[in-house]
Amino acid sequence: MSNGYNPYGPYAQQPPPPGTPPTGGAPRDLFPSLWQNDEDLSRATSSCLARVFLRMFIALLVTAAVSYGIYTYQGSFAGYNSIYDYTTGEVYSGLMVFLFSNIYFFYGLMIAQLLLVIVLAVRVMKMSSTASNIMFFIYAIMTGITLSVVFLAYTTGVIFQAFMVTAMTFGAMALYGTITRRDLTKIGSLCFMGLIGIIIASIINMFVGNDTLTMIINYIGVLIFVGLTAYDTQRIKRMLAGANSGNADSVIVAGRDEAIKRISVMGALMLYLDFINLFLKILAIMGRRR
C-alpha cells in the first residue's frame, strides 16, 4: 500500500551538480580562521617571527652567560678546588672541575637535556605558553652548562670568532627563509636525511677516531644546519598559516594570542638548536685546540 511518497517526485533530493565539493564532515564554521584576511595574517606572522627571534636571542644570551660564568667562576665548589694549568696558564674553577670530573653527572645532564628537548618538541603545541617558556629556558641553562666544555678545548678568541661567523651566517639564512617565495620543503627533507647520516657517521667515528672523517662531518654539518636555518624559518610561517586554516586543532582552540605564543616557542626552539649546532660545527673547523 502506497503512503503517497514518490522518491522520484519534484521534492526528492537531487544529486549535486558536477564539480561540487563533498559536504560531509564537520562544518568549516566550527573551526573559523584565526585571522580573517591576508593582511591580518601577515601582521600576525611578523609579530610571531619577532617573538621567535627575540626569544631565541634571550635563550642564547642565557646559554652564553651560564657557560662563561662557569668558566670564569673563582673559588672552590662542593669540595673541588681550582686547578692551574701550567701548559696554558689557565685557572679552572672548582665548579668546572666538579662538572667535568664527575662523568656520571655530566652524561646524566646530557641525557636530561635530550629528554627535555624531546618532550618540549612533542608537547609544546599542547601545553600552555608559560610552561613551554619555562621548559625552554631551563633547556637553555642546561645547554650552557654542557657547552662550558668548549672553554677547555678552544681559546676564547677562536670561540668569539666562531660565534661571529655563526651569527652572520645564521642571520643571512634566516632572512632568506623569511623573504623567499621558493618552497624549501625539499631542502628541509634533504637536510634532515643528511642530519641522520652525520649522526650515524659521528657515532661510528667515536670508535674509529679518524680526523679526516671528523672534518668531513663538520663541513657537511655546516651545510646541513645552514639549510635547516632557512627551512625552519619558513616552516614557522607555514605553521601559522596552517593554524589559520584549521590544520592544528590545539592552536585553534587556544585562540590568536595563544597560537602566536605557542608557535613562537616552537620556532625559537628550532632556530636555537640550528644556531647552537651550526656554532659547534664552525668552531670545530676554525678552532685551534688548546
Is residue 188 in some structural domain?
yes
Is residue 9 in some structural domain?
no
Answer yes or no: is pLDDT of 138 > 70: yes
DSSP labels, 2-25? --S--TTSTTSPPPPPTTPPP--S
Is residue 134 in some structural domain?
yes
Answer yes or no: is pLDDT of 83 > 90: no
Is residue 64 in some structural domain?
yes
The pLDDT assigned to 86 comes to: 54
Model confidence pLDDT, tens digit, residues 15-27: 555 555 554 444 4
Confidence of residue 87 (pLDDT cuts 50, 70, 90): low
CA 58, 59, 64, 69 torsion: positive or negative?
A: positive
Is residue 2 in some structural domain?
no
Confidence of residue 8 (pLDDT cuts 50, 70, 90): very low
Q: What is the mean pLDDT of residues 187-198?
A: 93
Is residue 15 in some structural domain?
no
Is residue 69 in some structural domain?
yes
Is residue 25 in some structural domain?
no
> Closest Cα to residue 261, out of 97, 44, 114, 30?
44
Q: What is the CA radius of gyration of the chain?
A: 26
Model confidence pLDDT, tens digit, residues 37-48: 667 667 878 888
| Domain span holding position 105 | 35-286
Give this prediction's pTM.
0.80
How many structural domains are present in the chain?
A: 1
Round to whole Å and give the CA distance between 290 and 285. Answer: 14
